[in-house]
Amino acid sequence: MKSILYISLILIAFVSLPGSGYAAKWENGTVYPKEGLAFQGEVKIGKRKFSTFIKFRDENHNKRNLRPEYIEKVTTENDVYRAIWFDDQVAGYNIWAFGKVITEGKISVYNVVYPFKNCSCKTSGTYKINWVIRLPEKPLFIIEHSFLKDEVTNMKRMLTYLKDYPELRDALFGSQRTREDIKGIIEHFNAGEEASDRTYQVR
């Protein structure tokens, strides 16, 4: 029984590695550069290998890599990928990365594969995949979660990070939360903020 559990954990870990277990396909997309006009073509986006670049090909099948340093966002039929900035306070590196949008609004959440420097040595560190929260004028916040149950493990630090949003903090406070719980609560908060802004504009 223990051996079966051990093998299952190994398989789950393998599937969780960046770039494993997913065959990316070309799909229609629109690219919004940081300078210039938007353009269309086909993009190939792996499930976990999308953060440092996204593959693009035009109608003549000319290919190139789209890098987050120069691209604002990439949209497909089902998903949006936005360039976001990691500074060394967050992951030990100053880098741009594409984040897959989980939810956007006054408070935005992205799924990102990013390099993480876990020591002061000169080695390149390791890659992690996590959700991150972005607030205006603040560094990103990495949502850490348990491996099997997807429960958020740094909730106290998240509540401190969200200190300027007491209504949201109250909604998050309480029992153990999963990342899906966090997503739903933030989406509800963003919807309320948008409705409030519209009411204010009408007045």
- Whether residue 14 is contained in a domain is answered as yes
Q: Contact at 8 Å (CB) between 115 and 18? A: no
- Whether residue 121 is contained in a domain is answered as yes
Res. 169 pLDDT band, cuts 50 70 90: very high
Which residues form the domain of 92? 2-143
CA distance 105 to 120: 35
- Whether residue 181 is contained in a domain is answered as no
pLDDT tens for each residue of 183-198: 999 999 999 887 766 6
Total of domains in the chain: 1
What are the beta bridge partners of residue 63?
A: 57
- Whether residue 173 is contained in a domain is answered as no
- Whether residue 42 is contained in a domain is answered as yes
- Whether residue 101 is contained in a domain is answered as yes
- Whether residue 86 is contained in a domain is answered as yes
What are the beta bridge partners of residue 22?
A: none
pTM for the whole structure: 0.80
- Whether residue 179 is contained in a domain is answered as no
pLDDT tens for each residue of 96-153: 999 999 999 999 999 998 777 666 665 556 778 899 999 988 889 999 999 888 999 9
Collect all residues with Cβ–Cβ distance below 8 Å to 199 and sequence separation of at least 6: none
